[in-house]
């Protein structure tokens, strides 16, 4: 090909690139600060840094109710509303199981320290560490009062609110529903018990437990209804002399048909533990959390375990009625303290001593950027 022919081909190409650069490069990215990227096709728009960040409100901010004053609420029945992220409460609660029948004259007091922290939207974590104080008039000491105390079994649980009520003025709408997996660690004393302490130095059951609860709440201003039911699997454990099962009776040492009995430690199996309670709260004053609560509380331990066969201790059950009064003071919005006091009265019991149980609790709330539970 001659030089003239090459020149005739190259000249139009050169003129095209020199005269029409915008057409050739209109799809390229504009420098930062330029307005040109507004004209770029949507499929090659540069990502904004904000688009790469998670939506904090969607992950953390709770769905609010139009009515939900801050109160102590029920003592035995859980609350389906969870603590928001950035908020928490610290609770000191006490109860005293007073048993006068069967020659017991026994006081079994429990003081619980509980912290509740909002982890994510609709999810909270709770830690409960109890202290047990047992006292009894003992015939072996001339009817003098004997008292023993120690740390009880630690409870860790989570609450996830998977359904929120949508109308706080009527009962005929959906309730709030929460699921609670629970774990009990045997941190209380249950072995090497002092034979002269009459079992008072036992402050734990000695079992690792796994439980699952369903909690419901429904508001119908100025009332709130609460319901909780759960099943607890109590793992087998090894116990020894002077151990008392969780129905406050001494567990007999197992013996063979020929009369040979264990002299040391032996394996103990509890049945499934069923918890159930129902509460009605009437709030008379929203700001001061003034009101009263009526609860029905029950437990049943079956004669067998779901996973570990027949129990080595007898089945038992009870049902209590537990009225209480409540108030909130002070209440600054950011911080609040709620109070309640009441007594549980026996309605029914089987294979367990009759108990009268006064109780009370004080709770200090810190309400973070998203407010308090149930706001």
First to last CA, the chain: 87
**Spans of the chain below 50 pLDDT:** 2-4, 6-7, 10-11, 13-47
The reply to whether 309 falls in a domain is: yes
Closest CA to 223 of 185, 175, 153: 175
Beta bridge partners of 156: 127, 183
Quote the pLDDT of residue 244: 85
The reply to whether 21 falls in a domain is: no
> Tokens 């928001």 identify what position?
84
The reply to whether 61 falls in a domain is: yes
Cβ atoms within 10 A of the Cβ of 35, count?
A: 7
Closest CA to 365 of 280, 278, 289: 289
What is the distance between the alpha carbons of residues 216 and 348, in angstroms, rounded to a whole number? 25
What is the distance between the alpha carbons of residues 120 and 117, in angstroms, rounded to a whole number? 9
Q: How far is CA 26 from CA 13, 19, 21, 37, 46, in A?
A: 19, 14, 8, 10, 15
pLDDT in tens, 126-153: 999 999 999 987 655 566 788 999 999 9
The reply to whether 375 falls in a domain is: no
The reply to whether 30 falls in a domain is: no
The reply to whether 17 falls in a domain is: no
The reply to whether 51 falls in a domain is: no
Q: For position 81, which CATH number holds? A: 2.40.160.40
Q: Which domain holds residue 290?
A: 56-366
Phi-psi region of 86 (alpha: psi -120 to 50; beta: other; left: phi over 0): left
What is the distance between the alpha carbons of residues 276 and 77, in angstroms, rounded to a whole number? 8
> Tokens 């130095």 identify what position?
201
- Cα R_g (the chain), whole angstroms: 32
Quote the pLDDT of residue 44: 44
Quote the pLDDT of residue 61: 87
Apex 272 CA angle, 278 and 356, nearest 5 = 50
Tell me the two tokens of residue 366. 């810190």
The reply to whether 13 falls in a domain is: no
Quote the pLDDT of residue 313: 85
Whole-model pTM: value is 0.82
Cβ atoms within 10 A of the Cβ of 239, count?
A: 23
H or E segment and range at residue 58: helix 56-60
pLDDT in tens, 251-276: 555 555 565 555 667 788 999 999 99
- The total number of structural domains in the chain stands at 1
Cβ atoms within 10 A of the Cβ of 15, count?
A: 10
């Amino acid at each position: 090909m001659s030089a003239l022919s090459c020149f005739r081909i190259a000249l139009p190409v050169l003129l095209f690139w020199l005269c029409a650069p915008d057409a050739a490069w209109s799809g390229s990215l504009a420098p930062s600060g330029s307005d040109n990227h507004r004209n770029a096709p949507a499929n090659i728009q540069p990502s904004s840094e904000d688009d790469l960040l998670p939506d904090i409100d969607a992950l953390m901010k709770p769905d609010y109710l139009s009515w939900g004053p801050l109160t102590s609420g029920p003592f035995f029945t859980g609350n389906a509303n969870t603590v928001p992220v950035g908020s928490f409460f610290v609770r000191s609660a006490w109860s005293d199981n007073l048993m006068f029948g069967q020659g017991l004259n026994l006081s079994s007091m429990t003081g619980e320290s509980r912290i509740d922290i909002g982890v994510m939207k609709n999810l909270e974590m709770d830690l409960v560490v109890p202290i047990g104080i047992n006292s009894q008039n003992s015939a072996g000491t001339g009817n003098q009062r004997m008292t023993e105390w120690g740390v009880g079994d630690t409870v860790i649980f989570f609450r996830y609110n998977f359904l929120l009520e949508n109308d706080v003025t009527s009962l005929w709408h959906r309730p709030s529903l929460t699921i609670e997996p629970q774990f009990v660690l045997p941190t209380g004393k249950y072995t090497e018990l002092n034979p002269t302490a009459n079992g008072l130095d036992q402050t734990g059951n000695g079992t690792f437990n796994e439980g699952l609860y369903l909690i419901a709440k429904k508001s119908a201003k100025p009332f709130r209804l609460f319901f909780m039911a759960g099943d607890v699997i109590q793992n087998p454990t090894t116990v020894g002399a002077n151990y008392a099962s969780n129905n406050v009776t001494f567990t007999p040492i197992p013996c063979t048909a020929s009369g040979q009995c264990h002299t040391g430690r032996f394996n103990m199996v509890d049945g499934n533990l069923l918890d159930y309670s129902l509460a009605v709260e009437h709030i008379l004053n929203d700001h001061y959390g003034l009101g009263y609560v009526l609860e029905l509380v029950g437990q049943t331990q079956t004669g067998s375990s779901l996973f570990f066969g027949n129990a080595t201790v007898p089945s038992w059950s009870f049902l209590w009625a537990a009225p209480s009064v409540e108030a909130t003071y002070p209440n600054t919005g950011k911080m609040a303290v709620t109070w309640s006091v009441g007594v549980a009265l026996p309605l029914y019991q089987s294979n367990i001593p009759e108990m009268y149980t006064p109780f009370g609790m004080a709770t200090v709330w810190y309400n973070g950027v998203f407010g308090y539970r149930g706001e």
